[in-house]
Amino acid sequence: MRPALLATVAVLVVLGGLRAAPATADVAHPVHGDELRLGPATVEIELAGREARYTVRREVHNPGAVADEARLELGLPEGGVVTGLRFQPVRGGPWLRGHLLGVGEARARWDEFADAPFAGARGPALLELVVGVPMLRLLHVPARGRVAFEYTAVAPVCRVGARWFAPAPRFVDEPGAVAALVVRGPRGGGQVVSAAHAETLVGRQVEEACALTAPAAAWGSPQLVTVAAPAVRGAAGALVMLPVGTRRLVELTIDTAVELAPAPRDARVVFVVDASRSMGADGVAAQLAMVRAYLARAPGARVELVVYRRHAHRLFGRWVDAADVERALAGAGAGAFAPGNGSNLDAGLAVAAALVAAVPGPRRVVAFTDDRLRADLDEVAASQALAGLPADAVIHAVVTGGGRAAASSLRRDFDHWLASVVAAWGGIAAHGERAALDGGREPAARRAEVFEDLVRPRRLEAVTVASADGRLEELGDVAEGESVRRVALHDDDGVTVEGWVWGRRWEPARVSDERAERRLARLAFAEPERVAELSEDVRRRLARLAAVVSDVTSLWAADPRWRPGGLPPEVELSGRSGPGGVSSSHIGMGRFGTRGTRGAVAGGPPPPTFEPLLAGPVAACASRHGARRWRVDLVIETTGREIVDVEVASLGADGGAGGSGAGDPALAACVVEAAWALDLDESFAPWTRRFDVSVAGARP
């Protein structure tokens, strides 16, 4: 996270390159003068429609006796992008709104104003990206005057429990930084909280809970904005696809309810207990401990146990209230679970199916096994045994044994042979030591928490995103009360998403509307690497749809009635910088006097030279015009790789028979054309300046 403030941190000081000034809440550094002051911010933040919208308003005060230019870095929250700009060049006057332009056009307009003679107390505003950082430039902050500005931004939100969170402006807890702060959400007002307070509110770390919501770095912010989120039922998902050239920008969002599904009340539950020799006494004890843990989270359940070895039989012979199960177990006697030969799980399943088929209401079966079964007991046999199980019943298979672990655990196994069998009734299979138990040292509440996963579904599991070309992204599980936001580029519309709620397949709804597409376009630029591989033309169209400041678009604000004009002549311009952030000593023309040099940065690399590039072309001109010896002094002006002016300062040449001599206009014209024909390389890109060039030579 950048140390800069969201509202605006002072102007960058450019010495040997671009670097941010120390974060401050009430001082803006000037470009030319001694001091600019940044007033406290008025901030409004609204969390709605899966994005946070920020509006920040501040004033820049110039206490000096001469006008100045301000350059301010906007330290947006992680994942934020600028969507709007307004500024008030004269206190109490009208506000001017920023318009989205291409980067080149916006810079050209800025230069048109900055390079023009002073034309009054006026000046435009330009908001663009400089080395990936949003930079606001105000050309004219009047002496002893103020300029107000306002910008808007958006960033993603993340749901944790019943709350939405977004990264907060980093200056909100600094003394004097905020004049007013309002936070709103769909269900009323919100607040700014620290990460520690956020964890207290929801009982877990926001950073961990939001790990699947891009950009992940946003949720490590020290300050967060939070509001109460609207209620969600089950697992709500949306898949948005936006054409970008020949490809698709795809956004997947998932919101899970605080309680994905409630525990059924007054359910009839049959536990199928494996009492085979291979399970042993410890294995039976482990199964009974799991039964107790299940019933602790199943209010009002009525229970029967089916015990199987070679044969299967009912243990109680009646439906027992959950509260009476311990007494019923004691009454069954120690021999009820004595390990015996035979592991006919199918027999136990058939008895359980018949029991629940005969009763109304919510119906559940939990079948235990150690997986040491006869060879012909396969998926077909298990399914046949369950043929009488009603379609609205749910059955789970828990594979366990006599082993013990330090703590209870229950992990789903999609590949177990019983997984497809129980999935037909919406259930899950959990395998091996993944349902192990520690004798009695583990707190009962902890054990009940683990095995509540058998009572009700508490997560959307195994979420995957598949492309038509076979690529597969595994997002894993999404716990209840959490959210996901993933953005990726795909080659076509053949994108499918699936997950599982217990044994039921889940997929998001496909959404195609302008609001969702614009939101996707906006937030796509929050992670530039997502769109970096798109062509510049496609990025430009996407940025215009989103109406955001990007690497190809800027916001420009000026009164259309203004005639371009820079700062007044009394302002010393030795430190002026161009829109791209390159230090400048450009003095201007006309009333500013003689044009100086821009681009020389103290301590930076030396400027490139023209002499090697021109030696050959000048020699060719000299030969063409019959000169034996020559010396040409030129002044070449550049703006990066572009040559913008060529002048011959002096020309000396010794002519041969019929050849040219000193001051020959034809030779001078040839040299000038040779200079204009140069194609400058990248070494010239950072340099906007006048080069003094001297080329001398002689024919053998």
Residues 6+ apart with CB under 8 A from 223: 167, 168, 169, 170, 172, 173, 192, 193, 194, 195
Burial bucket for residue 239 (CB in 10 Å: 0-12, 13-18, 19+): buried
Q: CATH 3.40.50.410 region(s) of the chain?
A: 268-456
Residue 444: helix, strand or coil by DSSP? helix
Give ∠ CA 498-504-506 in degrees, rounded to 5. 25
> Which among 148, 29, 25, 136 has a CA at the least distance from the CA of 74?
136
Helix (H) or strand (E) segment spanning residue 623: helix 611-624
Q: What is the pLDDT of residue 517?
A: 94
Among 172, 202, 197, which residue's Cα sits nearest to residue 75? 172
What tokens does 70 get? 């301000």
Contacts of 599-606 spanning 24+ positions with Cβ under 8 A:
599/686, 599/687, 599/688, 599/689, 600/689, 601/14, 601/15, 601/16, 601/17, 602/15, 602/16, 603/15, 603/16, 604/16, 604/17
CATH among 3.40.50.410, 2.30.30.90, 3.30.200.20, 3.40.50.800 for 268-456? 3.40.50.410
For residue range 21-30, what is the model confidence (pLDDT) as tens digits?
Answer: 333 333 455 6
- In sequence order, which residues have a C-beta less than 8 Å from that of residue 323 and are 6 or more positions away? none
Cα 688 from Cα 685, distance rounded (Å) = 8
Token pair 């899950």: residue: 428
Q: Which residues of 9-27 are buried (b: 16+ CB within 10 A; e: fewer)?
A: bbbbebeeebebbebbbbe
User: What does the alpha-carbon distance between residue 420 and residue 414 come to, in Å, rounded to a whole number?
Assistant: 8
Tell me if 576 sits within 8 A of 587, measured CB to CB: no
Residue ranges for the chain with pLDDT beneath 50: 1-27, 432, 434-436, 438-439, 574-602, 657-659
Dihedral sign for Cα atoms in the order 677, 622, 616, 596: negative
Using alpha carbons, select from 28, 34, 33 the residue that is nearest to residue 571: 33
Helix, strand, coil percent content, the chain, rounded in steps of 5: 25, 35, 40
* 8 A C-beta contact, residue 438 and residue 405: yes
Q: Are 351 and 379 in contact (CB under 8 A)?
A: no
pLDDT digits (tens, 9 = 90+) for 625-674: 889 899 999 999 887 788 889 999 999 888 754 445 667 899 999 999 99
Q: CA-to-CA distance for 45 and 53, rounded, in angstroms?
A: 6
What pLDDT sits at residue 255? 94
Tokens of 87: 């500024």
Q: Is 99 helix (H, G, I), strand (E, B) or coil?
A: strand
| CA distance to 348, 386, 556, per residue, from 311 (Å) | 8, 16, 83
Residue 56 amino acid letter:
V
Kindly state the helix (H) or strand (E) to which residue 280 belongs, with its residue range.
helix 280-296
**Cα–Cα nearest to 337, from 298, 375, 291, 371:** 291
552-568 burial: b if 16+ Cβ within 10 Å, else e? bbbbbbbeeeeebbbbb
Per-residue pLDDT, 685: 83
Question: CB–CB of 186/48 below 8 Å?
Answer: yes
Q: Are 420 and 456 in contact (CB under 8 A)?
A: no
pLDDT for position 30: 65
Q: What is the rounded distance in angstroms from the CA atom of residue 278 to the CA atom of residue 439?
A: 18
- Strand segments, DSSP code E, in 433-501 are 459-466, 472-479, 483-490, 496-501
pLDDT at residue 587, rounded to an integer: 23
Q: How would DSSP label each residue in 305-327?
A: EEEESSSEEESSSS-EEGGGHHH
Residue from 140, 16, 142, 125 nearest 74 by CA: 125
User: What DSSP string runs through 137-203?
Assistant: EEEEE-TTEEEEEEEEEEEE-EEETTEEEEEPPTTTTSTTSEEEEEEEETTEE-EEEEHHHHHHHHT
The 3-state DSSP class for residue 519 equals helix
HSE-CB at 39 with a 13 A cutoff on CA atoms is 18
* Pairing relationship of beta strands 627-639 and 642-655 according to DSSP bridges: antiparallel
pLDDT (tens digit, 9 = 90+) per residue, 137-172? 999 998 888 999 999 999 999 999 999 999 988 777
